[in-house]
Amino acid sequence: LQKWVVMVTAQTPTNIAVIKYWGKRDETLILPINDSISVTLDPDHLCTTTTVSVSPSFEQDRMWLNGKEISLLGGRFQSCLREIRSRARDLEDEKKGIMIKKMDWEKLHFHIASYNNFPTAAGLASSAAGLACFVFALAKLMNLNEDNGQLSAIARRGSGSACRSLYGGFVKWIMGKEENGSDSIAVQLADEKHWDDLVIVIAVVSARQKETSSTTGMQDSCKTSMLIQHRAKEVVPKRIIQMEDAIEKRDFPSFARLACADSNQFHAVCLDTSPPIFYMNDTSHKIISCVEKWNCSEGTPQVAYTFDAGPNAVLIARDRKIAALLLRRLLFHFPPHSNTDLNSYVIGDKSILQ
């Protein structure tokens, strides 16, 4: 039995869409019905860390998520693995005296250990960070030559939103036109330094797993909602152009209005689905009212809110001063251990409390 092991560890932050992806035109290739735009969070906060290892002594591919073994047999993991293996190249580790030939990768097996430093499947885009990290780490291990755009198309096959986590800053997932999905990739609109005044605060309303997965939710919406087609064809294309412009100019009022309107329309599509999908709860609605009242009283938006497929609020403050005020307001309206189920805050930048 040969004893060597080669390992790679990667870390990938999650991303939060400010113009949402909801609905697929191809379920297998994971091709969306509209473009989307997201902001990638700071890697110090919500992120996945994945270590992939390969050894001739491994008898099968195995994976552990947060210490618990999970099955790799699902179609999504398998299509990512297949795509990566098919692009693998020779790998030479001179120090260890190891040489893995391109064709050897087909026979070798992987052990993959992944950790999320935040609740899994609770609408905090854990699958985005997880699948992006899975693809990135395996691509490094198998010495792929692909750039992040090409890797994003592989990550997309694992979880649509994962393609946007291959880049930092503001990222657009272009829906693409090709039937084979070759042009459905993520591109970076602006890097993490472009608009670093923004502070993201996540109010964890519930860390429980969501009842309707995004996969099932999207399928049901595409089958039964009339609003979803109007959204994809008439609303999102215009919003994408306006959002790109707001990001380029660091125009917070436009950014906030678009992000809030888009989150609300996504949840309206969920309500327009049969049976209706309720991702937000009373606490989520109270947070929206609180932010709307504040923005209205100031005459211009101070904070943007957006909610994914879960009740947790992602709040984007225009700067650190506003973020500190936001936290005070949240703590006042939703004191910890009160009868609301808002149980913790994940703070984008802890220094705002000092």
**Residues of the shown chain interacting with ligand PMV in the complex, contacts defined by CB under 6 A:** 17, 20-22, 36, 125, 127, 159-161, 214-215, 308-309
CB count in 10 Å sphere of residue 207? 17
Q: What minimum distance in Å lies between the beta carbon of 344 and ligand PMV?
A: 20
Task: Name which of 74, 215, 72, 52 is nearest 133 in CA terms.
Answer: 52
Shortest gap between Cβ of 71 and ligand PMV (angstroms)? Answer: 18
* N-to-C CA span, the chain: 56
- From the CB of 85, what's the least distance to ligand PMV, in Å? 23
Considering the complex, state which of residue 214 and residue 284 has its C-beta at the smaller distance from ligand PMV.
Answer: 214
Q: Closer to ligand PMV by CB, 24 or 320: give it.
A: 24
Q: What stretches of 220-332 adopt beta strand conformation (E)?
A: 303-306, 313-317
Q: Among residues 36 and 40, whose Cβ is nearest to ligand PMV?
A: 36
- Looking at beta carbons only, is 309 or 342 nearer to ligand PMV? 309
* CB of 88 or CB of 269, closer to ligand PMV: 269
CB of 272 to ligand PMV, least distance (A): 15
Q: 154 vs 309, which CB is nearer to ligand PMV?
A: 309
Cα 183 vs. chain centroid, distance in angstroms?
20
Separation CA 317–CA 300 (nearest Å)? 12
CA distance 83 to 267: 34
Who's near 286: CB < 8 A, 6+ residues apart? Answer: 333, 334, 340
Among residues 21, 32, 20, the alpha carbon closest in space to that of 175 is found at 32
Q: Output 208 or 328, the one with its CB closest to ligand PMV.
A: 208
Give the nearest distance from C-beta 215 to ligand PMV in angstroms: 6
Q: Which is nearer to ligand PMV, 133 or 142 (CB)?
A: 133
Q: Which helix (H) or strand (E) holds 49?
A: strand 47-55
Distance between CA atoms of residues 346 and 20, nearest Å: 22
My answer on whether omega of the bond before 311 falls inside 30° of 0, hence cis, is no
Q: How far is the CB of 308 from ligand PMV (least distance, A)?
A: 4
**Exposed (0-12), middle (13-18) or buried (19+): which is 53, by Cβ within 10 Å?**
middle
Minimum distance from CB of 347 to ligand PMV (Å)? Answer: 21
Tokens linked to 142: 């198998």
Output the smallest distance, CB 181 to ligand PMV, in A: 14
